[in-house]
């Protein structure tokens, strides 16, 4: 035994001394991936992702032994650069989207050109550069090995193919051990890919990224594989649904009315009703909530496509795709949409935006969604006031009035989508140009110790913070909406028109901003201690539940009025409006909110929300929203439903199932006719 131990020690010493570069590559790569999880998903001591990362790095590293020792550094250093870039990109992306970046986003990279300032100002943090240490470590080790003439020594003793084979075997052993720890649920989620956070938590960064690379090829290869299985799932799901048209007090209430939809960029619901120094942040939206139907528990269901995802879900009642974005990767599929269904009722459908038409591919996608032959965008407006990404909302709305007036004169019924822009991150342009008078400092009375007189003191509550800039930007957006509705009224365009306003997604502000917002003490200019009884904790669930956005349906004559507190998602808007305006999408995944008893909002991450519970699919735990417990069956049932909905939606998108179903039905009809 002693002799065996000595042999092991001798071999280990020899191996380590002649594989320094390889071991440095393996250790730095695994440590960097672990560091990323430390800063993001925070599963510090989870063994599975470490094993998965180790297995990938060992297998990649093994091929380095096929290269002569003097050239191996180039191989290992190149891979170190790739892994470091992956860590940096994912760190930055997670900060903004609480998810991990996908190779399919390469197709949307042009969208980032216009928001470059937002990325630098709003997202980049010091921690995002911490991953560069791997490149430095590799280069430092390489320089020292050159001084010690390490490569010449190794060249004399190394048998590349043997070491490559041995390393591959070790890598495969680690893979086998890792796989033995997985459950069938883990493997299923890896295959479906839509829950990126869970995959990185369980499979590590590198497995996720390689799996994502394969998944990102789905737009090209998926239609070639798995069609029959997905078509069967699609048919069975819709055949199981009731075709009964449920009637309620809102059925056909707006049939024949014009519709103007306002896509309110980044307006989050918490700003509504909020006052700073007694002044409302959103006085116009607050007024509209009192005069119309206000849905106070409404959530966007966007994924990596942000605004474009919300447009898609709003118009189709489907969820965003699990890879890439519909507007970039799957725009040429056939979808049942609000514009297409309204055109069957002789509506003229148009859209307007103050940005470039190519942003999110809108100039192409809007036509495929069924908007008529014109998408008004930057080239159709006089760019007389630029804020942030493009034409200011106030100028945009002002210039839109005569265009809408002309449309109303030429068409008896119309449906228009107005896409706002100014309230886009990083929200600083409004402040720098001093375009809104809204003070976010905290004002309070104080006795002057020298004079004994009362005086108004200003405390730096939200001044020079991202949230403070956001509140000023939202105040401007609210003014623009108020001005737009007044101008529509003066132009006589509100008499037979319904205004629909929805927030496209939350403001993407960090948790720390809300901790300051809710826990600031102006008298000490500090944040309350967590031990303070007035301290409001902003945990994962508080942050997620706070991401809801406004939804308002308003008419001048206040034909509909009241607050709807039931939880509702973006995919529920189309069926709800369909009931009011007399159209129906048989492929809708959402429901008319007034015809469903217990609604569920399924998010692209797999998380779900009901009136009773918010459930985190990654952590496999949830937060109760009522004072009564829920059963395991309740959670299981909603988990299964969420997975099914996500799978159905993705199948429709990837396999173009609506088009293929329509083509099949047409062939059947032609065959029957003889």
Domain locations in the chain as residue ranges = 11-216, 235-673
Give the confidence band of 187 by pLDDT, cuts at 50, 70, 90. confident
Q: Flag whether pLDDT at 250 surpasses 70.
A: yes
Q: Longest C-alpha distance within the chain, in Å?
A: 100
Q: What is the pLDDT of residue 280?
A: 97
pLDDT, tens only, 509-546: 989 899 999 999 988 899 999 999 999 999 999 999 99
C-alpha span between 416 and 107 (Å, rounded): 28
Q: What is the pLDDT of residue 159?
A: 63
Q: Give the pLDDT mean for 196-210.
A: 87
pLDDT, tens only, 290-332: 999 999 999 999 988 889 999 999 999 999 998 778 988 899 9
Q: Flag whether pLDDT at 374 surpasses 80.
A: no
For 31-72, give the DSSP string. HHHHHHHHHTT--TT-HHHHHHHHHHHHHHHHGGGGS-HHHH
What is the CATH number that goes with domain 235-673?
A: 3.40.720.10
Between 5 and 349, whose confidence is greater?
Answer: 349
CA distances from 421 to 262, 361, 394 (A): 11, 16, 10
pTM for this predicted structure:
0.81
Q: Flag whether pLDDT at 595 surpasses 90.
A: yes
With beta carbons less than 8 A apart as the criterion, state whether 100 and 208 touch.
yes
Handedness of CA 459, 461, 464, 470 (dihedral sign): negative
pLDDT, tens only, 58-86: 999 999 888 888 888 999 999 999 999 99
């Amino acid at each position: 035994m002693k002799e065996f131990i000595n042999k092991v020690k001798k071999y280990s010493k020899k191996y380590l001394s002649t594989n320094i570069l390889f071991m440095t590559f393996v250790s730095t790569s695994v440590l960097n991936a672990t560091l990323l999880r430390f800063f993001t998903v925070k599963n510090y001591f989870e063994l599975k992702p470490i094993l998965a990362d180790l297995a990938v790095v060992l297998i990649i590293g093994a091929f380095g032994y096929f290269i002569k020792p003097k050239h191996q550094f180039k191989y290992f250093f190149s891979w170190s650069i790739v892994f470091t870039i992956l860590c940096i990109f994912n760190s930055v992306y997670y900060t903004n989207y609480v998810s991990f970046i996908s190779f399919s986003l390469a197709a949307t990279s042009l969208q980032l050109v216009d928001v470059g300032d937002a990325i630098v100002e709003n997202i980049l943090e010091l921690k995002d550069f911490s991953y560069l240490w791997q490149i430095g470590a590799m280069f430092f080790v390489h320089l020292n090995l050159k001084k010690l003439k390490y490569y010449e020594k190794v060249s004399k003793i190394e048998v590349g193919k043997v070491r490559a084979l041995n390393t591959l075997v070790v890598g495969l052993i680690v893979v086998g051990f890792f796989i033995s720890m997985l459950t069938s649920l883990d493997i299923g989620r890896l295959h479906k890919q839509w829950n990126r956070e869970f995959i990185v938590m369980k499979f590590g960064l590198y497995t996720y990224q390689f799996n994502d690379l394969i998944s990102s090829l789905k737009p090209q290869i998926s239609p070639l594989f798995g069609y029959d299985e997905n078509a069967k799932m699609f048919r069975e799901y819709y055949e199981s649904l009731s075709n009964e048209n449920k009637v309620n007090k809102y059925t056909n209430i707006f049939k024949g009315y014009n519709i103007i939809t306002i896509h309110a960029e980044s307006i989050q619901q918490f700003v509504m009703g909020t006052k700073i120094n007694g002044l409302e942040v959103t006085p116009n939206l607050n007024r509209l909530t009192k005069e119309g139907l206000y849905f106070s528990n409404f959530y966007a269901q966007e994924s990596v496509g942000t605004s474009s995802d919300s447009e898609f879900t709003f118009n189709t009642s489907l969820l965003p795709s699990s890879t890439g974005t519909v507007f970039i990767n799957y725009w040429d599929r056939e979808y049942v949409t609000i514009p297409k269904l309204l055109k069957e009722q002789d509506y003229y459908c148009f859209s307007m935006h103050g940005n470039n038409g190519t942003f999110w591919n809108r100039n192409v996608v809007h036509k495929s969604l069924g908007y008529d032959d014109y998408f008004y965008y930057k080239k159709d407006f006089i760019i007389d006031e630029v804020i942030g990404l493009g034409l200011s909302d106030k100028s945009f709305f002002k210039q839109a009035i005569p265009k809408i007036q002309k449309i109303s004169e030429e068409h008896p019924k119309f449906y228009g989508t107005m896409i706002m822009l100014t309230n886009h991150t990083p929200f600083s342009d409004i402040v720098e140009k001093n375009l809104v008078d809204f003070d976010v400092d905290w004002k309070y009375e104080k006795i002057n110790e020298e004079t004994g007189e009362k005086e108004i003191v200003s405390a730096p509550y939200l001044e020079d913070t991202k949230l403070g800039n956001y509140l000023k930007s939202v105040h401007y957006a609210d003014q623009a909406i108020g001005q737009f509705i007044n101008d529509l009224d003066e132009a006589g365009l509100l008499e037979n028109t319904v205004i629909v306003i929805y927030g496209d997604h939350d403001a993407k502000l960090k948790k720390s901003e809300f901790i300051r917002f809710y826990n600031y003490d102006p008298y000490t200019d500090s944040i309350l201690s967590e031990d303070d009884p007035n301290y409001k904790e902003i945990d994962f669930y508080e942050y997620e539940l706070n991401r809801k956005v406004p939804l308002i349906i308003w008419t001048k004559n206040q034909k509909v009025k009241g607050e709807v507190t039931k939880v509702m998602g973006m995919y529920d808007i189309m069926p709800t409006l369909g009931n009011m305006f007399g159209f129906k999408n048989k492929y809708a995944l959402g429901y008319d909110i007034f015809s469903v008893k217990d609604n569920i909002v399924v998010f692209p991450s797999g998380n779900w929300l009901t009136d009773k519970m918010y459930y985190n699919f990654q952590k496999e735990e949830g937060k109760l929203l009522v004072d009564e417990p829920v059963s395991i069956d309740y959670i299981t049932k909603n988990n299964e439903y969420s997975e099914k909905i996500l799978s159905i939606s993705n199948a429709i998108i990837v396999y173009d199932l609506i088009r293929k179903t329509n083509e099949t039905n047409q062939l059947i009809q032609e065959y029957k006719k003889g």
